[in-house]
Structure 1
Amino acid sequence: MASPVSLPLYERIRRKNTIPRAVELLILFLLISLLVYRLLNRENHGVSWHMAFFCELHFTSVWILTVTIKWNQVDFITHPERLLQWAPELPPVDMFVTTADAALEPPIITVNTVLSLLALDYPADKLACYVSDDGASPITFYALIEASKFAKLWVPFCKKYKVQIRAPFRYFSKKIQSLGHDTSIEFQQEWIKMKDAYEQLSQKVEDAATRSWSCDLTGDFAVFSNIDRRNHQTIIKVIWENQEGDSNGLPHLIYISREKRPKHPHHFKAGAMNVLARVSGVMTNAPFMLNVDCDMFANNPQIALHAMCLLLGVQNESDCAFVQCPQQFYDGPKDDPFGNQLVVLYEVGWLYGSATEDILTGLTIHGKGWRSALCNPKPDAFLGCAPLSGPASMIQQKRWATGLLEILISPRSPLIATLTGKLQFRQCMAYMWLQGWALRSIPELCYAVLPAFSILTNSHFFPKVQELAILIPVSIFIIYNLYTLSEYLQIGLSIHAWWNNQRMLRVNAMSAWLFGMSSVILKLLGLSETVFEVTQKEQTSSDDDDDDDNVNANAGRYTFDESPIFIPGTTILLVHLMALATGILGFRRVHNDGNGCGIGEFIGSLCVVLCFWPFLKGLFGKGKYGIPLSTVYKSGALALLFVQFCKWTSMG
């Protein structure tokens, strides 16, 4: 029988996806059939038909990319419970947490992330947590000092009772009976004590944020006196140091705010990450580094251990090293016994030139010969402290779309890397699928307005009901939606989650991604520069958190502001409402046997309205749940212009 130390830290299991492959090929066949049908019948149709052809040609190309990157699927099953059996050989690990604005990213969120990391089931003398504060905020520094005091109680409590969810706000939002612990008097008393201590911590942090730190800035806080967040020297503060080397104590906790000067570019998050790497190399020289986003780590801090299983598990495999693109990376001396492949990022660093610095760095890593593995343990690490939908989500999507398109058209494009032999073909396809987000906005937008355009111009772009060809788009619609729904259900997600994501995909494509593409075009024309926008983070919790659907419903309620990013979605909704009103009130007759619009166009228009249902509710909502009147007026004017354009087209 194998000794515990010889047990593998991970297993690689190939998925049996014969049925999904067959469904994907069937959808591809139907898409190609639809394109052929449109080509063969293009002479008898107008603008709608040809626009539909080019949009569907784009959708087909995207589906080919999708099929390519999903063809061979594997799962990595990690065993973090075996890590401690490797204790003598476990390397030091430095964990990086980044925050940039104490107002948009409340310090209590950073505190919860840090607390979950400090409580990892890993030798504390081999852990260090570095917090990068690009806002140079004394409130964030104060919050971390208070968090270190609370951690002296929280970490032993987590390890004593084997707490799985180690972000306190998430843990204490659940009922005590649902936590899976014993219900002994001792536990209940300690639980109440810990909850009271956390509420006191939260209150202190909230009070500090509310009064904008009006206290006397002396002692450790003197460096923050009269500080300008855009013009200041480097600040490094060791908040807690495990001086005794106690493996059961608390890990090191270090606060860093890098130097900033107005005339020197600071390269956003990539610059902050490189500073963290340099400071880490000087202070601890740990061979492994883990990058953590504050709003992505609260639900399952153990994902760091899952990632470690992958990294350590391949130390004897000379052909590749695993990296989570690049949620964690290796930085160590070239004579390290793990092999030269693992030293690549030490020379690369986090690359500048894109708002999505992680994708750019990951692309370069893969070009150096690295391979990646998806680490997705249960429960999911991504909790999503920001709202599922609303201004923060839209700005985040815009930033991603902008950065991804910048990479695609840059000298570091995956196409160029593949032609020069640095990337494998399927790696290139994966990056192309990801980086084409912004480019999808135009076909998505055109296809979304086609039903309304057809109704208003009394034309059609769907095959007629009495034609056998109508089965092609109907089959694509039904099979695709059932296929994607089955994928959600197989991984334990709900129908509600599936519908939300399908709807938000349409909304983001026609708004946030559209603005992302516009930003890149303006940059290419020399009219503007890319701006890194920090998104507003909101911590959500529920007293009845046991019901995931209930949590998603609360967190996903759509919010609006006066940002122009909501104008496209509002305009599309108003256009379809006008088109449906025109058709239903009899201004346009429904034709199933002629060249006029038919029932298919009306169904398509209704589907678009359903996708933009949050915007419809926003027309009648109040406060942050209502669309601002300025946005409604601008969108209404654009919608009327579109209707007038349709009239001119039909008259011509």
Structure 2
Amino acid sequence: MTNAPIILTLDCDMYSNDPQTPHRMLCYFHDSEIRSKLGYIQFPQRFHGLNKNDIYACELKRLFICNPVGMDGFAGPNHVGTGCFFSRRVFFGGPSSFVTPEIPGLSPAHMVDKPIHAQSVLALAHHVADCMYENETNWGSKLGFRYGSLVEDYYTGYRLQCEGWKSVFCHPKRPAFLGDVPITLIDVLSQNKRWSVGLLEVAFSKYSPVTFGARAMGLVMGLCYAHTGFWPIWSIPITIYGFLPQLALLNGVSIFPKVSDTWFFVYAFLFIGAYVQDCLDYIFTQGTFQRWWSDQRMWLIRGVTSYLFGLIEFVSKCLGIATHGFNVTSKVVDDEQGKRYDQGTFEFGVHSPMFVSLAAASIINLIAFIRGIIGVFRGWNLEGLFVQMFISGFVVLNCWPVYEAMVLRSDKGRMPTKTTMVSIFVAWALYAVASLMLKL
């Protein structure tokens, strides 16, 4: 609630790290060539306290740096919820519209032109502070910050750009703002699950980026927002690749082309090409190979945990089935947890259904990889099973922190015994079902 012509949004755990930030921002807002349509200026979200290899991939370079740089060449970056300066004008309609203020007492510029201590202004402030003030108005749907999604930042920036507003990505060498990161895996995955549900709420609404967005902003910008909005759908192919080839391998069934087959080279080219490009993109944004490895590992982990459970929760909500309420990401630092995080050790510690799916995938891939090696020595056709063994081995390599937490560790951050036992049962059940289906 402010009468300022420019509004800064920040998360409660972030602070200013550069006194030159307002000056940089004002340079854009006073540029006569762009100011008429400039809605907001987005600074990248940066963090302090990251451990050496950023084991939970909290930097999110693609979301906060790579993608905004590309979008900046079109209509501008999306809003990421913090480190953003808004022109007050954007909350009252498009650049060319002149909307009559829905709150009495505002000037045509949507600001109060009386002293801040005036009784009428104080009365208006009390009116706006009332949680019912937006009833039967366009606030939250067509004006102001947009409601109706757990990712109100993504939704608000997206709708503002659909109205014709442009944005600017300002990325100085010195971070403008710094914030905290979650230091436990359950907090990271819970945060990502909440984002997944919110993104799907927008992606499958009447304002979907592939329909409404593409018409309002153009195909390219529509696809940019769709790329983020449909993130959780990645859970489907990742989960399939995390279980199906391995279950087939356990039963000695080949489902991929042989090494001598021409199609094998297509698979190899797509895999190697995608990973090399992904690695180069990450390193070219001042990343390191170790942090890239953490990033791609967490992408796989999110695929069988937060993305998958977020997709399930969204479908459940659409079917009218009760789901968990909103949860705030904990960033409280426990001394022991903080020490393990600084050492690069994954923090489990609590039982969670998301850990069950992760541990079950780890167990099935490990057993499938060992079974494949034994099978080769017993005369199995390695040429036909090579791709499945490679996928299993790649997952095993990524899941080393999970095996370590289940077997080798004794600290409070290890995988709970209950989770391990449930995961073993789930892995056995999946194997039994797969074996039965193959026999049929």
TM-score, normalised via structure 2 length:
0.72
Going from structure 1 to structure 2, the CA distance change for 1:563 and 1:311 (only over 3 Å counts) comes to farther
Letter in 1 for 2:221: Q
Q: 1:575 aligned to 2:364?
A: yes
Superimposed CA distance per residue, residues 330-387 of structure 1 (whole angstroms, 9 cap, x where no aligned partner) = 215999xx98699799971111111101111112101110122222222445755223
For residues 148-174 of structure 1, the C-alpha deviation after alignment (integer angstroms, 9 at most, x for no partner) is xxxxxxxxxxxxxxxxxxxxxxxxxxx
Q: Which of 585, 591, 596 is matched with 2:374 structurally?
A: 585
Counterpart-to-counterpart distance in 2, 1:552 and 1:311: 44
Question: Is the CA contact 1:314–1:322 (under 8 Å) kept in the aligned structure 2?
Answer: no
Unaligned runs of 5+ in 2: 43-77, 100-108, 111-138
In 1, the alpha carbon distance for the partners of 2:17 and 2:410 equals: 32
- Match for 2:86: what amino acid? F
Distance 2:164 2:282 in 1: 32
Which residue does the alignment assign to 1:427? 221
Q: Identify which of 220, 224, 231 aligns with 1:437.
A: 231
Q: Matched residue of 2:7: which SS?
A: strand
Give how far 1:388 is off.
5.6
Provide the C-alpha distance between the structure 2 equivalents of 1:381 and 1:552, rounded to a whole number of angstroms. 28
Report if the CA contact (8 A) 2:232-2:307 is conserved: yes
Residue 225 of structure 2 aligns to which amino acid in structure 1?
A: Y
Q: CA-atom RMSD, angstroms? A: 3.3
Any idea what the Cα deviations from partners look like across 1:267-292, whole Å, max 9, x if unmatched? xxxxxxxxxx3xx2xxxx21011111
Shift of 1:522: 1.1
Report if aligned partners of 1:389, 1:556 keep a CA contact under 8 Å in 2.
Answer: no
1:328 aligns to 2:117 (yes or no): no
3-state SS of the aligned residue for 1:559?
coil
Deviation at 1:504? 0.5
Instruction: Select the structure of larger CA radius of gyration.
Output: 1
1:38-82: per-residue Cα shift (whole Å, max 9, x none)?
Answer: xxxxxxxxxxxxxxxxxxxxxxxxxxxxxxxxxxxxxxxxxxxxx
Query: In the aligned structure 2, how far is the partner of 1:461 from the partner of 1:333?
Result: 54
Take 1:322 and 1:364, find their aligned partners in 2: how far apart are those partners?
A: 13
Cα distance, 1:400–1:603 mapped onto 2, change above 3 Å: same
Q: Once the 2 structures are TM-superposed, how far is the Cα of residue 539 of structure 1 from its aligned partner?
A: 5.3
Q: CA deviation at 1:639?
A: 0.1
Q: Say whether residues 1:372 and 2:129 are aligned partners.
A: no
Cα distance 1:295–1:304, how it changes in 2: closer, same or farther (>3 A)? farther
Shift of the 303–615 alpha-carbon distance from structure 1 to 2, 3 Å rule, reads: farther
Contact 1:441/1:514 (<8 A) preserved: yes
**Greater displacement, 554-563 / 375-384:** 375-384
| Residue in 2 that maps onto 1:598 | 385
* Pair 1:436–1:378, CA change in 2 (3 A): same
* Structure 1 residue identity aligned to 2:203: L
Cα distance in 1 for partners of 2:220, 2:228 equals 12
Tell me the equivalent position of 1:565. 354
Q: Which of residues 1, 8, 11 is equivalent to 1:293?
A: 11
C-alpha change, 1:486 and 1:553, in structure 2 (3 Å) is farther
Q: 1:339 to 1:521 in 2, by over 3 A?
A: closer
Alignment of 1:262-341 (within 5 A): 277=1, 280=2, 285-297=3-15, 303=21, 305-313=23-31, 317-324=35-42, 325-326=78-79, 327-331=84-88
Match for 2:293 among 499, 503, 528? 499
**What is the match of residue 648 of structure 1?**
436
Q: Give the TM-score of the pair, scaled to structure 1.
A: 0.50
Aligned counterparts of 2:365 and 2:195: Cα–Cα separation in 1: 28
Q: Say how many residue pairs are matched.
A: 355
**Which amino acid in structure 2 is aligned with residue 574 of structure 1?**
I
Residue 581 of structure 1 deviates from its aligned partner by 2.9
Task: Report the CA distance shift for 1:582/1:350 in structure 2 as closer, same or farther (over 3 A).
Answer: same
Are 2:156 and 1:361 equivalent residues in the alignment? yes
**Corresponding residue to 1:611 among 395, 398, 415:** 398
| Structure 2 contact 8–86 (Cα < 8 Å) conserved | yes
Aligned residue for 1:328, secondary structure, equals: strand
In structure 2, the CA distance between the partners of 1:320 and 1:460, relative to structure 1 (3 Å rule), is same
1:186-335 matches, within 5 Å, as 277=1, 280=2, 285-297=3-15, 303=21, 305-313=23-31, 317-324=35-42, 325-326=78-79, 327-331=84-88
Going from structure 1 to structure 2, the CA distance change for 1:340 and 1:315 (only over 3 Å counts) comes to farther
SS in 1 for 2:10: strand
Structure 1 unpaired stretches of 5+ = 1-276, 542-550
1:351 aligns to 2:157 (yes or no)? no
Instruction: Determine whether 1:626 maps to 2:414.
Output: yes
AA at the equivalent of 1:562: H
Residues 436-515 of structure 1 mapped to structure 2, 5 A cutoff: 436-515=230-309
Summarize the Cα distance change of 1:303–1:402 in structure 2 as closer, same or farther, 3 Å threshold.
farther
After TM superposition, give the deviation of residue 304 of structure 1 in Å: 5.4
CA contact (8 A) 2:282 2:288 kept: yes
- 1:619 CA drift (Å): 0.8
The aligned residue for residue 387 of structure 1 is 182
Q: Provide the identity percentage.
A: 28
